[in-house]
Copies of this chain bind each other. A is one copy, B any other.
């Protein structure tokens, strides 16, 4: 499946906090075909450090397809023979220098000043991220979606949609999501991830030049997120376990010698960090910390499917159980299906196709 990034722009957008941004742009991709009635669209939302590239390849020669390619395509969980699937870059999308992402955030040039917004960019909430997506969906002539869905921060968007535009969202699929709020522990964890950037002298109070990123801080933030998403299984099966990085330098000989798995995580973190803007990380962490729809769930008209992973230590099964309870107490339908796989949070990306039958039934039922 060959795909291309498209661009949606709007002349201005006013945030929940009342700040107006001019010339707001986000990238998006679509898979499948919008039918004549324009009623077969599913909005897929991306995870924290993800992008709109949810499926397919740009060129046949791309080494990897989009991040949920196993679940989006002809005959797959989100069947593009039947559904028109849309995924858009978030506001403040993190890997802003990967050559494809189109987003508006602190790294964007403020048309009023000709300089990047930097930390003068307003604090955004998930309601703002979803508000811009809503304008994109409107622009496609779609009045009602079949469902919103996404993993992790994508689940947060999918959930936010259901309380913000209840008439447009009959179904929500929350995969490895936090429940109906980020919670206090998620807020502390967010700070832990953000802190490496805040304490990097090159962050300069947020006012670094876009090409002079606080790269050391970004690397550590990237590493935090990567490690939190792993488990014992991931490290053993995919990262080389406890082998020495260099056979002639075993870890037991010197604290300066290291493990192959540690060096692999280090290499991955450095590679990913080079694509990112530091302030975009900080703004999306704050947006996550501010997320709560606990007081709004009664406005929703959707039914919900929560899919946590049993071994996930970021998005706990217990938090999803609480969400199911809260949704039901609001008089709405909610079910949970636990993905019983060993790879933790990351399995919400790679193992979702194992939930195909459950998701298909959920999408088919009224």
Contacts and interface: CB of A to CB of B under 8 A. Distances in A.
Interface in A270-292: 279, 282-283, 286, 289-290
B265 A232 contact: no
Contacts of A230: 185, 188
Interface string A158-201: 00000000000000000000000001110111011001100100
B187 A235 contact: yes
A279 B255 CA distance: 9
A46 interface: no
Interface residues of A, number: 51
B235 A286 contact: no
Nearest to A199: B216
B261 A184 contact: yes
Contacts of A60: none
Contact of A289 (B119, B227, B259, B289): B259
Contacts of A232: 183-185, 319
A340 interface: no
**Complex copy number for this chain:** 2
Contacts of A195: 220, 223
A53 interface: no
A346 to B, nearest CB: 12
Contacts of A224: 192
A329 to B, nearest CB: 19
A256 interface: yes
B187 A259 contact: yes
Interface stretch (A67-75, A78-86, A246-254, A358-366): A246-254
Contact of A184 (B125, B223, B236, B290): B236
Contacts of A123: 251-255
A303 to B, nearest CB: 26
